[in-house]
Chain A
Amino acid sequence: MDAPLYGLVLTGGRSTRMGQDKAALAYAGRTQLERAMALVSAHVDRAWVSVRPEQRADPVRAPFAQIVDTRPDIGPVAGILAAQQSQPQAAWLVLACDLPLLDEATLAHLVASRAKQAVATAYRSSRDGLPEPLCAIYEPRSHALLESYLQGGRNCPRKFLIETGAQLIDEPNPQALDNVNTPSEYGAASERLAGNHMPPKQLTVQYFALLREQAGRREEALESAAGTPRELYQELRQRYPFTLGSEVLRVAVNSEFADWSTQLRTGDTVVFIPPVAGG
């Protein structure tokens, strides 16, 4: 049985240079934490927010399932270790909370490139060629190695990935992992996202067979901010009691088979195709 993939968004950082909590920064109307949780949730079975004990009741973090750090002052490794201790059988898709430009395609590519036999799978930075440890998948076997790394007095996750020979892959979008540490970087990213921010799309969704019965309708016109069929199905699963996971479905856009990460546009008609049984 493969290890399940869970998501973890790290929010325990001190945001010292920013001067305010990076998880609470708003981009195009949503907090960075909301954006990160929505992105990661589309790719994992379950997702949590990693917090320090004193952050538990914080209004930005309180709406989400949380995993609390048990060891202070060792940086992001604390969050990863706490998550691994709580669910040792899982692999963890770990995300920093200061990547406002992170996009659907970058996460989808990471998940598709996951090397289960490696300690971890991470992006190779387009700037310096080194691993990006905070948009990466940590396999269950990395837990013991990370513990002994910490016992050895070290806590830099980037060096950990270098030394353990993590699988490194290239970024599909070189800006996606630019992090935001200062008010001026926040201003630039925020402007960029406001410019890119698409108004909600008008979409038509048609339902067939089991999905038609579970949705209680054949077709509907809806307004959605979903950028891709993957995000749209995630959104529809909140609304209808669909029993089929996206892994057994195919997608069609405008009556042709399409990829789960196709960019949706206003006017598109989307169909999710349950396992077929013709003949």
Chain B
Amino acid sequence: MAVVTFRFSHAPIEVERLRRMLADPGCGGFASFEGWVRNHNEGAEVRHLEYEAFEALAVREGERIIQEAITRFGVTRAACEHRLGDLSIGEVAVWVGASAPHRNEAFLAARYIIDEVKHRLPIWKKEHYVNGDSGWVNCERCATPAGEAPHSHPRG
């Protein structure tokens, strides 16, 4: 029976606990990905980050993504945990792991999950910059000032 898990955490992500959760005697390969908070984005120096999510929908959609990865790549177990709230530079913002009989499925599933999570889940990131400014990533540039025609904008 495959274990399906997607969850949010307001506390630092416990990487070891997640890794143990995916352990399985039938698995010979395990791949994980960690997204870290970095100190710069698009030329601006970042001081810290703030993550917010529409949790009810994001958890459902996150579970669907994990299930898709299991079905598509035949991995045995997969999980994802995403941080919310204020994060400092260097902290783990998102953790993805997959275990499978062989390494290739595990790599592919982990890659699939992080890509889909970034595109599909209603999660937003506000960057607070060293110069005192702040902004919601992907939202500020697609604002439509009154009287101007909107431009098209790729999602995700």
Give the B-binding residues of A (Cβ under 8 A): 4, 45, 206, 208-210, 212, 243-245, 247-248, 250, 252, 255-257, 271, 273-279
| Interchain CA distance A245-B75 in the complex, whole Å | 40
Residues from 113 to 156 in B contacting A, C-beta threshold 8 Å = 114, 117-126, 136-140, 142-145, 149-150, 152-153, 155-156
Distance of B92 from chain A, by nearest CB (Å): 11
Knowing A206-B54, A209-B52, A209-B126, the reply to whether A279 touches B117 (Cβ < 8 A) is yes
Alpha-carbon gap, A255 to B56, bound state (A): 6
Looking across the interface, which residue of chain A has its beta carbon closest to that of B125?
Answer: A277
The smallest beta-carbon distance between A226 and chain B, in angstroms, is: 20
Q: Which residues of A contact B140 (CB under 8 A)?
A: 210
Size bracket, chain B contacts: 35 or more
Instruction: Compute how far the CA of A224 lies from the CA of B121 in the bound complex, rounded to whole angstroms.
Output: 28
Contact B94 A244 (CB under 8 A): no
Residues on B with beta carbons closer than 8 Å to the beta carbon of A255: 54, 56-57, 60
B149 touching A4 by the CB < 8 A rule? yes
Which chain A residue shows the least CB distance to B150?
A: A245
With A247-B152, A256-B57 already in contact, 19 other A-B pairs whose C-beta atoms are closer than 8 Å: A4-B149, A206-B54, A208-B54, A245-B142, A250-B155, A256-B60, A257-B57, A257-B61, A273-B122, A275-B139, A276-B120, A276-B121, A277-B118, A277-B138, A278-B58, A278-B94, A279-B82, A279-B93, A279-B114
Q: Which residues of A contact B144 (CB under 8 A)?
A: 243-245
How far does the Cβ of B110 sit from chain A's closest Cβ, in whole Å? 13
**Residues of B that sit less than 8 Å from A by CB:** 35, 51-54, 56-58, 60-61, 82, 93-94, 114, 117-126, 136-140, 142-145, 149-150, 152-153, 155-156
Roughly how many angstroms separate A273 CA and B58 CA in the complex, as a whole number? Answer: 11
Distance A250 CA – B139 CA, assembled complex (angstroms): 13
Shortest 5 CB-CB distances between A and B: which pairs? Answer: A278-B123, A243-B143, A209-B124, A279-B118, A277-B137
Our pick among A45, A252, A279 for the contact of B54 (Cβ within 8 Å) is: A252
Is A275's CB under 8 angstroms from B153's CB? yes
Verify A274–B35 contact, CB threshold 8 A.
no
Assess the B136–A210 pair: CB atoms within 8 A: yes
A256 to B56, CA, bound (A): 9
Are A274 and B136 in contact, with the CB atoms below 8 A? yes
Q: A252-B57, A256-B57, A279-B114 are in contact. Are A208 and B143 (CB under 8 A)?
A: no
Residues in A with CB closer than 8 Å to B155 are 248, 250, 275-276
CA distance A206 to B155 in the complex (A): 21
Contact indicator B117/A278 (Cβ below 8 Å):
yes
A278–B82 touching, CB < 8 Å: yes
Q: Separation in Å of the B10 CB from the closest CB of chain A?
A: 15
Q: Point out the residues of chain B lying under 8 angstroms from A256, CB to CB.
A: 57, 60
Q: Tell me which of A4, A45, A206, A276 contacts B124 (CB under 8 A).
A: A276
Known: A208-B54, A252-B57. A276 touches B142 (CB 8 A): no
Shortest Cβ gap from B21 to chain A (Å): 20
Residue from B82, B118, B149 having most chain A Cβ neighbours under 10 A: B149
B67 to chain A, nearest CB (A): 16
Q: Are A278 and B121 in contact, CB atoms less than 8 angstroms apart? A: yes
List the A side residues contacting B60 at CB < 8 Å. 255-256
Residues of B within 8 A of A206 (CB): 54
Contact present for B57 and A276 (CB under 8 Å)? no
Query: Considering the chains assembled together, what is the distance between the CA atoms of A30 and B121 in angstroms?
Result: 40
The CB with the most chain A CB atoms within 10 A, among B52, B56, B122, B123, is that of B122
Q: Which residues of B contact A245 (CB under 8 A)?
A: 142, 144, 150
CA distance A206 to B122 in the complex (A): 13
Q: Is the CB of B149 within 8 A of A274?
A: no
A198, B51: Cα distance in complex, Å: 39
